[in-house]
């Protein structure tokens, strides 16, 4: 059931992308609500998995893969529509490839869920804690929801847009760049702990040979 919820996010994503490339109309406002629904279901699949005792390594990896597909697609589309600079999706792509490769390989080799891999207290808080995961998801949801309004609002509701454009634009890009910052901050502990573990393994091997 939880995996079906994850799959439904990808279907909703396709609708959002399709709408983004249609002629601007009132229908574009649907993307605002669809983006929110996508991120709500992101938290819902984990809740359902725990409630129905359906947690598994595959489910955890599938959830992370779904998250990456959603966020990377939305960032790339936003850059393609000239709503954000191209370096923003590049940061998420590079960080996602590096961090998810480390997580996936370690999860398979150790047989534990990706978010259970962190060892240090700081790493557990930044990467694994429920607070940071929810906070990061909310920030990204606000960024994407704001971006979804930037194109249709001035065209469909120009009078209202003139009054609140500065507020919406300001908040949207605040959340966009806060997302970038959190992306980097939450990725660094994974990389640092991986490098340290590899160093310890090498030193341990050398010590055994001696």
Greater confidence (59 vs 67) lies with 67
Provide CB contacts within 8 A for 119, sequence distance 6+. Answer: 193
Closest CA to 146 of 42, 29, 10, 43: 29
pLDDT band of residue 177 (cuts 50, 70, 90) is very high
**Number of Cβ atoms within 10 Å of the Cβ of 62:** 16
Structure tokens at 142: 């606000």
Which domains are delineated in the chain?
2-209 (1.20.120)
Going by the DSSP 8-state scheme, the letter that residue 45 receives in this structure is H
Question: Whole-model pTM?
Answer: 0.83
3-state secondary structure 94-163: HHHHHHHHHHHHHHHHHCCCHHHCCCCHHHHHHHHCHHHHHHHHHHHHHHHHHHHHHCHHHHHCHHHHHH
pLDDT at residue number 206? 60
pLDDT digits (tens, 9 = 90+) for 17-29: 999 999 999 999 9
Q: Which of 50-54, 109-113, 136-140, 191-195 has the lowest mean pLDDT?
A: 109-113
pLDDT at residue number 192? 84
């Amino acid at each position: 059931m939880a995996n079906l919820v994850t799959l439904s996010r990808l279907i909703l994503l396709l609708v959002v992308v399709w709408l983004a490339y249609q002629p601007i109309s009132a229908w574009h406002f649907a993307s605002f609500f669809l983006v929110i629904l996508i991120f709500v279901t992101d938290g819902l699949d984990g809740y359902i998995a725990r409630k129905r005792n359906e947690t598994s390594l595959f489910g955890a990896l599938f959830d992370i893969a779904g998250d990456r597909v959603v966020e990377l697609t939305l960032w790339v589309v936003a850059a393609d529509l000239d709503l954000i600079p191209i370096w923003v999706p590049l940061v998420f792509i590079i960080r996602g490839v590096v961090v998810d490769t480390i997580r996936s390989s370690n999860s398979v080799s150790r047989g534990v869920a990706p978010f259970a891999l962190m060892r240090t207290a700081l790493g557990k808080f930044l990467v694994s804690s429920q607070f940071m995961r929810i906070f990061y998801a909310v920030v990204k949801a606000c960024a994407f929801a704001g971006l979804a309004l930037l194109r249709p609002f001035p065209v469909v509701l120009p009078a209202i847009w003139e009054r609140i454009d500065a507020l919406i634009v300001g908040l949207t890009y605040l959340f966009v760049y806060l997302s970038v910052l959190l992306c980097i901050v939450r990725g660094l502990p994974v990389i640092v702990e991986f490098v340290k573990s590899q160093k310890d393994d090498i030193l341990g091997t050398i010590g055994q040979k001696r």
